[in-house]
Chains A and B, each alone.
Chain A
Amino acid sequence: MNTSYILRRLFYGLLLMLGVVVLNFLLIRMAPGDPAVVIAGEMGGATEEMLESIREEYGLNKPLLVQLGIYIGDIARFDLGESFFFNQPVTHLIGLRIGPTILLVVTAQLLSIVLGVFLGVIAARKPNGIMSAFVSVFATIGYAVPVFWTGIMLIILFASIVPIFPVEGMQSVRLRDANVFVKALDILHHLVLPAFTLAIIYLAQYARLSRASMLEVLGSDYIRTARAKGASEKSVLFKHALRNAALPILTVAGLQFGNLISGALLVETVFNWPGMGRLAFDSILRRDYPTIMGVLFFASFMVVIANILTDLSYRLADPRLRGR
C-alpha cells in the first residue's frame, strides 16, 4: 500500500467533509423558526430589543453566506462554536457524549458482527437444514423490524415482566459514590438492552450476508481440496472458508458504521442514553444550530474515518488489491 494512495483517500475525505459542512449549514438554515425566538421563548418571553441583542450576539443578523464563511473558518480552527441553548462550547457538549455513543455503537457493531457471522456460518454448513431456515427467518424479521419498535418491546418486557435490566439511562445515580468496578458493572448492565436493540438489525444483515458468502466459498475448488486433504470441518469452515468469505462482510461493516450512528440516534432517544444522537435530536427541536452542525460534523467525520479505515483494511485483508 503506497503513501500516495492514503494521501489521496484523505484528500477525498476532506473534500467530502467540506461538502457535508456546507450542505448541513444550508439545510438547517432552511428549517422554519428563528433561533432567537426559541431562545427568548426558553427564557420565558422577551422584548424586541432582547430578540435583537440575541441575534446580534449569535451573529444571526449577518447575511447567510457571511455566516457560512465564518463557520467554515471556525471549523478549520476546530472551533465548533457555542451552543445557543446551553451557552457552552459545542466541543464540550460533544465531549461529554461521545464516550457513551462510541461505547454503544462499538458494542453493537461487535455484537452484530460476531453473532451474525457465527449464525451465518452455522447456517451455511447445512443450507437446507433447520438452522439455516431459522437464520433466514430471523434475518428477515430482524431486518424488517424498526429499531425503535424493538426498543419499546424490550422496554415493556424488561420494565415490567422480567425486570432484570435497566431500561433507561447509562448509570444509576445512586451509585455515584461507588468504586470504579461497581460503576463499570453498572454501565454494562445498562448497556445490554440498547446495544442489543441497535445490534439486532445489523446482526440479521451479517447473518444473511455471511451465509450467502459462505455458501459461495464452500462451493469452491480449494474447499474441496482442503476437505480432500483431510482438514477438519472446523478448520475448513473457519480457517479456509470464512477468511475468504470475510471480505464482503468487512466492506459492509465499514459502510454500516454510518447507519449504526444514525440508528444510535433512535436507540439513545428510546433508552434515554446520554449520547450524541439524543443531543442531535434535542438540538434540532431547539434550533440550536451550532450544536446540530457540530454533532453532524463529528458524526460525518467518524463515518469518513471509518470508511477510510475499511478501505485500508480491505487492502490488508486481500493481497490482490495491495499493488493497485
Chain B
Amino acid sequence: MTLMTRLMGAAALTVTTMVGAPVYADGGTLVIASTQVPRHLNGAVQSGIATAMPSTQIFASPLRYDENWEPQPYLAESWEVSEDGMSVTLNLVQNATFHDGQPVTSEDVAFSIMTTKENHPFKSMFAPVEAIETPDAHTAVIKLSQPHPALLLALSPALAPVLPKHVYGDGQDPKSHPANSAPVGSGPFLLEEFTAGEAVVLKKNPNFFLEGRPVLDEVIFRIIKDESALMIAMENGEADAYPFMTQSSSIKRMEKADHLGVTTDGYAAVGPINWLAFNTASEKLSDVRVRQAIAYAVDRDFITKALHRGVSSSQRGPIIETSPFFDETIPSYDADLDKATALMAEAGYADGMDLTIDYIPGPAEQQKNIAEYMKSQLKKIGINVEVRAAPDFPTWAGRVGGHDFELSMDIVFNWGDPVIGVHRTYLSSNINKGVIWSNTQQYANAKVDELLNAAAVEGDLEKRKALYAEFQQIVAGDLPVYWINALPYHTAFDQKLQNVPTGIWGFMHPYDQISWSE
C-alpha cells in the first residue's frame, strides 16, 4: 500500500467517523432508489410506478395478489362473485382504521371505487360499476352493468387504494386534492415527509390491521434521477433496493456487487411492452403488406440479444408473454429480408419509400438505439427512415397524440388484465386525437372490437382465453403495432433483505412482510 493510499484511507475513515455510522431504526429502514418522480401519492387518480410504489404502502385496498395471480384477502377478508357475475360482495375486516384513527367502513370503499372510476385514467377498470351498496359498515356490494371478470384484479393495491371519505369527500377535485401530497390511508406505513421531487419518507403504522405487520420501521423512497449516481448509491449501501431497472449496463453492474441480488420476478402484472406503432391512417402504412414487410425486416433476436445484451426477452403479441392470456401460436415475423422485399414490391413500393420514426424519450437502449437500428435495417428493403428525436416527452406526446407520426416507438403497460391495459390500444372506440396511449394507431377492425367486448364480460376463464387467442391472431395479422420486446425490468436488492416482493405487482404491493435478516 502506498503512502498516498494509506493517507486517503485514513482520511476516509476520519470522515466516516465524523459523520457517524448508519443509524438504523429498530425494525430497520428500507431505502428504495428510483429515477421516477411521483407527482403526488394518491394512486386512485394517478397511474404509474412512481406514485404506485408509495401509494400501495400508505393505502390498503380490498384485495391483494400473490405470485400465482390468485387474489388474497386484504381489507376484504372474504368476497363472493354472484352466479350471474353482475355483483361482487366484499366482506371487510372489522379492525381496520385509517392513520388518523377513523375506522375503515364500506362507505369508504364505495366512495373510493367511485372516485377512482371517475378520476383514474384507466376508465375500463371500473366502467361497468353502476353502484355500490353498503348494507352495513363492513359489507360493500358492487353492482355491475355487465359481468366484469377484470374487477378482482382492479381491486389490487396499485389500482384501488381505499381513500378516507371523511378527507376526500369534501367536494374538492380529487385529482388536485391537497391530501394527495399528505395522504391518510389505512396501509402498513404512514406518511412522515414528502419532499416533492426528492424523497418520500414513511413510518410504520403501529395500528395496521394485520397482526404483527409491518416489520420494517421505516421506508424511504429516494429519487435519484441520474442512473450512475443511483448505481453508486446502491453499491455503497446508501440505497437498499432499486426496482424497475432496465439498462443492461446497470443490470450487469448490480450483478457484480457482492452484497446485492438481482431478480426479474415481480413484474408479471405490469406487462411492459416495447413496441413500434404504425400510423395505419397514413397512406403508406395503411397497406398491411408494408407493415408486415417492416416486421420481417427487423430482427427481434438482434435487439434482445445484441442491443440489450441478453437482458430483455422478445415479445410477439399484444398481451405480455408471461400472462395466462398470451397465445403461443401467433405468427412471430422472424427476420426474413427476402420476404420483406417481396411484400414491399407486392404493395407497389418496389422503389422504396420515405418514412419517419419517432420514439418516446426514455432509456436510449430501449428507444433511440432501436430506432437507429431500424433505420439501417429498413434501408435494406428500400425504406429511407428519418429518425425524429424529440427533446422531451411533451414534444413526442404532441406528435403521437396528435396523430402526426408515421412510425413511433413506445413503451406501454398491460396492467394485469387485458381489459385494463390492452383493449385501449386496439378498440376502434378509443381513437381519440390528442390523447396519448389511446388507439393512436387509428386501427379499426370490427371483429377485434367484437372479440374484445366479448372477452371483457366473459366470466369463464377458458372461454375468455379463447376469445383473446382469436383477438391475438387477428391483430398479429393486421399488425397495427409490431411488438418488439418485454421491457427487461429487474430489481436489485440488498441480500440481507427478506421477502422482497416478487408477486405479480412486485414493488407496487404492500411491503408489510419485508424484513432485514440482521
Residues in A lying within 8 Å of B, measured CB to CB: 31-35, 37-38, 40-48, 50-51, 57, 82-83, 85-88, 93, 96, 155, 159, 162-169, 172-178, 182, 185-186, 189, 269-272, 274, 278-279, 282, 284-287
* Complex Cα gap A282–B35 (Å): 12
| Residues of B219-234 whose CB lies within 8 A of A | 220, 222, 224-226, 228-229, 232-233
Minimum CB–CB distance from A273 to chain B (whole Å) comes to: 10
B contact residues around A272 at 8 Å (CB): 224-226, 229
A contact residues around B201 at 8 Å (CB): 176
The one of B46, B232, B395, B434 in contact with A51, judged by C-beta atoms closer than 8 angstroms, is B434
Residues in B lying within 8 Å of A, measured CB to CB: 8, 11-12, 15, 18-20, 22-25, 29, 31, 37, 39-40, 45-48, 120-123, 173, 175-176, 178, 180-181, 195-199, 201, 220, 222, 224-226, 228-229, 232-233, 236, 238, 392-395, 397-398, 401, 424, 432, 434-438
* Complex Cα gap A40–B18 (Å): 47
A contact residues around B236 at 8 Å (CB): 163
Query: Does the CB pair B40–A87 fall under 8 Å?
Result: yes
B contact residues around A42 at 8 Å (CB): 39, 46, 48
* Complex Cα gap A88–B196 (Å): 9
A contact residues around B435 at 8 Å (CB): 40, 45-48, 51
Query: Does the CB pair A173–B31 fall under 8 Å?
Result: yes
A contact residues around B180 at 8 Å (CB): 87
B contact residues around A83 at 8 Å (CB): 196
A contact residues around B438 at 8 Å (CB): 45
Given contacts A164-B11, A272-B224, contact A186 B19 (CB under 8 A): yes
Minimum CB–CB distance from B171 to chain A (whole Å) comes to: 15
A contact residues around B45 at 8 Å (CB): 43
A contact residues around B37 at 8 Å (CB): 282
Query: Does the CB pair A169–B224 fall under 8 Å?
Result: yes
B contact residues around A47 at 8 Å (CB): 123, 432, 435
B contact residues around A163 at 8 Å (CB): 12, 236
| Known pairs A33-B395, A45-B47 / 11 extra A-B pairs, C-beta < 8 Å | A37-B401, A43-B47, A43-B175, A46-B436, A48-B432, A57-B176, A87-B178, A164-B11, A168-B232, A174-B22, A175-B20
15 A-B residue pairs with Cβ-Cβ distance under 8 Å, sorted by A, are A38-B393, A38-B394, A43-B47, A48-B435, A86-B40, A93-B196, A96-B195, A165-B15, A174-B24, A174-B31, A176-B201, A178-B23, A272-B224, A272-B226, A286-B394
The one of A32, A46, A85, A164 in contact with B395, judged by C-beta atoms closer than 8 angstroms, is A32
Given contacts A33-B392, A176-B201, contact A274 B436 (CB under 8 A): no
Query: Does the CB pair A44–B437 fall under 8 Å?
Result: yes
Query: Does the CB pair B48–A44 fall under 8 Å?
Result: yes
Given contacts A57-B176, A96-B195, contact A287 B18 (CB under 8 A): no
A contact residues around B232 at 8 Å (CB): 155, 159, 167-168
B contact residues around A173 at 8 Å (CB): 29, 31, 199, 220, 222, 238
B contact residues around A44 at 8 Å (CB): 46-48, 120-122, 437
